Amino acid sequence: MDDKELRSARQSVPPNAEQLINALRQIGYSFEQAVSDLVDNCVNAKAKNVLIRLQYDDQAIVQLLVADDGHGMTESLLQRAMRFGAHEDIGDLSLGKFGMGMKLASFSHAKTLSVHTVSGASACGRRWTVEGISRNWLLEEIPSEEAREATAGPFPSMDLARCGSVIEWSRIDRLATSKNGVDATLSQLFNRLRVHLGLHFHRFLESRRLSIRLDSQHVDGSEADRATEIAALNPFRYDESGAPEFPQNFPVTIPEIGKIKAIAHIWPPNSKSPEYKLGNRAASRQGFYFYRNDRLIQAGGWNGVVEHETEPHTSLARIAVDLPESMDEHFGLNVQKSLVIVPPPFAESMQAATSASGVQFSKYRSLAERVYRKKDVRAQTDYPLVPDGALPAELARRARDVLGDGSKTRPVKIVWDELSDPGALFEVDREEMCLRLDKRMRRKLLGGKRGTQTDLPVVKLLLFLLLEQDFDKARHSAQRRKQLDALSELLSTALRFE
Ligand SMILES: Nc1ncnc2c1ncn2[C@@H]1O[C@H](COP(=O)(O)OP(=O)(O)O)[C@@H](O)[C@H]1O
Ligand SMILES: [Mg+2]
């Protein structure tokens, strides 16, 4: 076929705009991923401050604003930016790959996207609506005064008079109000944003290159409320490594692609740190942490390198990988920029990797597992329990000899107290590692005499021996609780005969 024939055999068949936008709205952005994509653009625009404002009425969240004090856009830049598939070559600081982020993120939650921006002296704005797109991509121009007003705020710590942008979602239709009301919905969404943005931008937040604030506002125009600032969540910030020989660098050579550095960490077991728990999903947060331009793209997941992605025993294994720009054509991102799509030989290369000090990758995983399992064993048996303080010194020493194993012990305090349950004779306080005994029992046993710190040692020791196992959290079952209630009642009855 020559050129002419080829031309005559082809026709341009543009998509049905209405169906296309409806399909694009379902691409699968979560709320926090969508907001994060807007913040990403703010960071590209060199913003120092970002404000995310959720606006609500009595029934629902109806509008969202993301304001930033970055460099803003001129009118011609804005016009190009609104295009689906805007392609601006902004060099290696950008994560924008498809020129779609702002639009897709917004339409995944709302039916109107308005962009107001100030650059130099002029303010301008553009608006997409689902209906405008459906009617063959009709983009609305927002009058300059309206754009000026929208950027005037007020926004805390920001002045957008000279430059900056305000992205607005209105007619939000994809944020369900929880059955507990708008208030509860707002606090859930704030929590989700705190984890996602705190993680995704943790390097920017830690180095104070960026501050992200959140607030909410009733649409009747009242003052903003619930103002809070996003704190960095660094998934590698622990006090002491779970294994002293870690972290270690595993250089990975991927055939025909190049070398990358994978820094493998082992978290200390039992960590309560929010940076370990990451929204209470530690087991699904093991694996790779891929960074690109200091943004954390993927926070956990094994990308096909291991079979069981969320095996709880390997929860302590986290590996940081900084992807250089030169790898962009091999390591792709999904549209939401939340997952890295690794090149096919990656899994094998990673499995074959050995650290500088000779640890194989598989060894690293089994070491992480050993550290975790040790935690399991420790949590169940730990060091032997011994009664603390409430016994005559000589008896306490003997008890330590008999009950302890000569090295470390866990003391349990025994005190006379007024118990929260007036019918109970004892209370096992696992948090404080304290056995509380009912004061009235002591009075009765001492026959009204004044007691001393170390009185009634036989009673204390016997109760300690009876209840020792209940200081292990693992044994704290509903059935055992019932048994303890019954025991307490039985002892109360016995006490009547003293
Ligand atoms: N907050 C902002 N400040 C300045 N420019 C922005 C902002 N948000 C978006 N833009 C411009 O809009 C363009 C399109 O954004 P987007 O749809 O997210 O695609 P991408 O980020 O992939 O380029 C960006 O390349 C940028 O030029
Ligand atoms: Mg973008």
- Average of pLDDT values for 440-448? 86
pLDDT, one tens digit per residue, over 79-102 is 999 999 887 554 544 455 788 999
C-alpha pair distances (Å), 404 with each of 135, 185, 332, 393: 80, 51, 57, 16
Query: Ligand 1 pocket: which of 44, 51, 119, 336 to mutate (most atoms <8 Å of CB)?
Result: 44
Domains of the chain by residue range: 17-221, 248-378, 385-496
Query: Ligand 1 pocket: which of 71, 90, 102 to mutate (most atoms <8 Å of CB)?
Result: 102
What integer pLDDT is reported at residue 475 of this predicted model? 59
What are the backbone dihedrals phi and psi of residue 444, each rounded to the nearest 5 degrees, phi first? -65, -45
Nearest ligand 1 atom to the CA of 68 is: 1
**338: nearest Cα among 296, 380, 383:** 296
Does ligand 1 come within 6 angstroms of the Cβ of 460?
no
Instruction: Please give the structure tokens belonging to residue 369.
Output: 């597992």
Does ligand 1 come within 6 angstroms of the Cβ of 103?
yes
Q: How far is the CA of 356 from the centre of ligand 1 (A)?
A: 41
Query: Which has the minimum average pLDDT: 120-124, 165-169, 262-266?
Result: 120-124
**Exposed, middle or buried, 358 (CB in 10 Å: 0-12/13-18/19+)?**
exposed
Q: Is the pLDDT of residue 17 over 80?
A: yes
Written in H, E and C, the secondary structure of the chain is CCHHHHHHHCCCCCCCHHHHHHHHCCCCCCHHHHHHHHHHHHHHCCCCEEEEEEEECCCCEEEEEEEECCCCCCHHHHHHHCCCCCCCCCHHHCCCCCCCHHHHHHHCCEEEEEEEEEECCEEEEEEEEHHHHHCCCCCEEECHHHHHHHHHCCECCECCCCEEEEEEEEEECCCCCCCCCHHHHHHHHHHHHHHHHHHHCHHHHHCCCCEEEEEEEECCCCCCEEEEECCCCCCCCCCCCCCCCCCEEEEEEECCCEEEEEEEEECCCCCCCHHHHCCCCHHHHCEEEEEECCEEEEECECCCCCCCCCCHHHCCEEEEEECCHHHCCCCEECCCCCCEECCCCHHHHHHCCECCCCCEHHHHHHHHHHHHHHHHHHHHCCCCEEEECCCCHHHHHHHHHHHCCCCCCEEEEEEEECCCCCCCCEEEECCCCEEEEEHHHHHHHCCCCCCCCCCCHHHHHHHHHHHHHHHCHHHCCHHHHHHHHHHHHHHHHHHHCC
Degrees, nearest 5: CA angle 442-445-451:
55
Nearest ligand 1 atom to the CA of 88 is: 25
CB 333 within 8 A of CB 97: yes
Question: Burial letters for 46-83: b for 16+ Cβ neighbours within 10 Å, e otherwise?
Answer: ebbbbbbbbbbeeeebbbbbbbbbbbbbebebbeebbe
Euclidean distance between the first and final Cα of the chain, in Å? Answer: 110
| Strand ranges across the sheet with 385-388 | 385-388, 410-417, 434-438, 426-429
Tell me which fold the domain 17-221 belongs to: Heat Shock Protein 90 (3.30.565)
What integer pLDDT is reported at residue 28 of this predicted model? 92
Does ligand 1 come within 6 angstroms of the Cβ of 86?
yes
Tell me the C-alpha distance between 450 and 234, whole Å. Answer: 56
> What is the identity of the amino acid at 44?
N
Q: How far is the CA of 208 from the centre of ligand 1 (A)?
A: 22
CB 164 within 8 A of CB 70: yes
Question: Which residue has a Cα nearest atom 19 of ligand 1?
Answer: 99
pLDDT, one tens digit per residue, over 32-73 is 999 999 999 999 999 999 999 999 999 999 999 999 999 999
Q: Is the pLDDT of residue 476 over 70?
A: no
**Exposed, middle or buried, 322 (CB in 10 Å: 0-12/13-18/19+)?**
middle
Query: Ligand 1 pocket: which of 24, 37, 39, 41 to mutate (most atoms <8 Å of CB)?
Result: 41
Ligand that lies nearest to the alpha carbon of residue 167, given by its number in the listed order: 1
Q: Is the pLDDT of residue 381 over 90?
A: no
Q: Is the pLDDT of residue 359 over 60?
A: yes
CB 213 within 8 A of CB 230: yes
Q: How far is the CA of 337 from the centre of ligand 2 (A)?
A: 9
Tell me the C-alpha distance between 413 and 432, whole Å. Answer: 8
Does ligand 1 come within 6 angstroms of the Cβ of 300?
no
How far is C-alpha 406 from the geometric centre of its chain's CA atoms? 42
Tell me the C-alpha distance between 51 and 277, whole Å. Answer: 26
> What is the identity of the amino acid at 215?
D
CB 60 within 8 A of CB 175: yes
pLDDT, one tens digit per residue, over 243-278 is 999 999 999 999 999 999 999 999 999 898 999 999
Mean pLDDT across the chain: 90
Q: How far is the CA of 75 from the centre of ligand 1 (A)?
A: 13
pLDDT, one tens digit per residue, over 182-222 is 999 999 999 999 999 999 999 999 999 999 999 999 999 78
What integer pLDDT is reported at residue 93 of this predicted model? 45
Provide the angle, in degrees to the nearest 10, between the axes of the packed helices 182-200 and 31-44: 50
| pLDDT-derived band at 419, boundaries 50, 70, 90 | confident
How many other CB atoms sit within 10 Å of the CB of residue 356? 9
Neighbours of ion ligand 2 (CB under 5 A): 41, 96, 101
pTM confidence score: 0.76
C-alpha pair distances (Å), 81 with each of 10, 31, 33, 96, 100: 30, 22, 20, 11, 9
Question: Which residue has a Cα nearest atom 24 of ligand 1?
Answer: 81
Q: How far is the CA of 41 from the centre of ligand 2 (A)?
A: 5
Tell me the C-alpha distance between 366 and 117, whole Å. Answer: 53
- Average of pLDDT values for 430-458? 86
What integer pLDDT is reported at residue 406 of this predicted model? 64
Does ligand 1 come within 6 angstroms of the Cβ of 102?
yes
Does ligand 1 come within 6 angstroms of the Cβ of 165?
yes
Tell me the C-alpha distance between 52 and 55, whole Å. Answer: 10
Q: How far is the CA of 410 from the centre of ligand 1 (A)?
A: 58
Tell me the C-alpha distance between 334 and 341, whole Å. Answer: 7
CB 36 within 8 A of CB 197: yes
CB 265 within 8 A of CB 359: no
What integer pLDDT is reported at residue 496 of this predicted model? 87
Only one residue has tokens 């900084």, namely 322
